[in-house]
Amino acid sequence: MKTDSEHNTSGSLDAMLKRYRQYLLLEKSLSPNTLEAYIDDASKLLDYMRDCNLDIQEITLDDLHSFSASIADLGIAPRSHARIISGIKSLFRFLCLDGYRPDDPSELLELPKIGRHLPDVLSVSEIDSIIGQIDLSQPEGHRNRAMIETMYSCGLRVSELCSLKMEDLFLDEGFIRVTGKGNKQRLVPVSGRAVHEINNYLSDRCHIKIRPGSEPFLFLSIRRGRQLSRIMVFDIVKDLTAKAGINKTVSPHTFRHSFATHLLEGGANLRAIQCMLGHEKISTTEIYTHIDRSRLREEIVTHHPRNIVDI
């Protein structure tokens, strides 16, 4: 165990933080963004400790509760607050492993409760209205139609859409191959309408001057000849939604939500939806079951024997 004098200086805290960074990088193999978020979380606690003259070796659960309360007082959203607390728990697990502390005071530190956010969902008529705003006389018209039909038909994340390659198309068989999170691949059925729009776009794609390195990708910038970026897709969806006069928060991910919701409303099995969305856990897919609540209540009121009144 390290001595008190080793822990009480800013230099020793900085050295500890450096060791923690190495631990996250080498032992946890975190992505650069996640690693920096964890370091930022730890830095928030260390700054708080300096302000309150606390020692990392002697900090208690009550101290951590006070730190958590100070985070809440800043008006930070519960989800961000929960992420910070998760980062603090990770820090103390490291401190125990590395011999800085014999115990973990964060074990009983509770995460703030997060209300589940229910995303906006588009109706079929709203999706048709958005697609109807696409001007097919413009060079990017058929591409945009194919892009939105594919997002909605297959429930793709925007990153999955942008990374689709020509070799991932099995249109005669009615499938596309999607590379999702963790480079996991899945085969997803594609609708006849989406196949039709993709084929129309492929006729235009032949005339694009494609930049080296972008040849494998399906969706390209018409003018630049590069792989279509996520930002470009966001901008296209935002522009079309405004033209359609739809007053909802609509992003490319909204089409994925709508895909899952419409399948559920149509009677699709939740496990099947999970496979098509590429969710690792069924609990992630279950968020879509809320959409069907009003329809479910209507069915119960109409058909349950206790609700049937004899005249």
Q: Which band of pLDDT confidence, cut at 50, 70 and 90, is reported for residue 11?
A: low
Same domain, yes or no: 128 and 237:
yes
Same domain, yes or no: 85 and 131:
no
Domain assignment of residue 59, yes or no: yes
* Domain end position, chosen among 50, 81, 97: 97
Share of the chain above pLDDT 70, in %: 85
Same domain, yes or no: 89 and 163:
no
Give the range among 6-20, 132-146, 294-308 with minimum mean pLDDT. 294-308
Domain assignment of residue 30, yes or no: yes
* Domain end position, chosen among 97, 114, 140: 97
Domain assignment of residue 188, yes or no: yes
Q: What is the pTM of this model?
A: 0.59
pLDDT tens column, 87-137: 999 999 999 998 888 999 998 888 877 655 566 889 999 999 999 999 999
Domain assignment of residue 37, yes or no: yes
Same domain, yes or no: 144 and 45:
no
Question: What are the structure tokens assigned to 258, written together?
Answer: 């709508």
Give the pLDDT confidence score for residue 271 in this predicted structure. 82
Same domain, yes or no: 87 and 135:
no
Q: Which band of pLDDT confidence, cut at 50, 70 and 90, is reported for residue 286?
A: low
Same domain, yes or no: 90 and 213:
no
Same domain, yes or no: 246 and 190:
yes
Q: Please say if the pLDDT value at position 297 is more than 60.
A: no
The mean pLDDT value of the chain amounts to: 84
Same domain, yes or no: 132 and 45:
no
Same domain, yes or no: 90 and 51:
yes
- Write out the residue range of the structural domain in which residue 13 sits: 4-97
Contact criterion met (CB below 8 Å) for 151 and 252: yes
Rounded Cα distance, 134 and 239, in Å: 10
- Determine the 3-state secondary structure of 217 from DSSP: strand
pLDDT tens column, 123-138: 999 999 999 999 999 9
Q: Please say if the pLDDT value at position 308 is more than 60.
A: no
Same domain, yes or no: 139 and 66:
no
Domain assignment of residue 105, yes or no: no
In the chain, the number of structural domains is: 2
Q: Please say if the pLDDT value at position 292 is more than 70.
A: no
Long-range residue pairs from 240-246, CB within 8 A, at least 24 positions apart, any chain: 240/130, 240/131, 240/133, 240/134, 240/144, 240/148, 241/130, 243/133, 244/126, 244/129, 244/130, 244/132, 244/133, 245/129, 246/122, 246/126, 246/129, 246/130
Spatial neighbors of 41 by CB under 8 A, at least 6 apart, are 83, 84, 86, 87, 88, 90, 91
Domain assignment of residue 138, yes or no: yes
Domain assignment of residue 168, yes or no: yes
Domain assignment of residue 311, yes or no: no
Q: Please say if the pLDDT value at position 302 is more than 70.
A: no
Say which CATH number the domain at 16 has.
1.10.150.130
Same domain, yes or no: 88 and 151:
no
Residues forming the active site: 157, 181, 253, 256, 279, 288
Same domain, yes or no: 81 and 160:
no
Q: Count Cα neighbours of 72 within 13 Å in the Cβ-side half-sphere.
A: 13
Pairing type for strands 169-170 and 175-179 reads antiparallel
Q: Please say if the pLDDT value at position 270 is more than 90.
A: no
Say which CATH number the domain at 287 has.
1.10.443.10
Q: Please say if the pLDDT value at position 287 is more than 70.
A: no
Average pLDDT over residues 76-95: 89
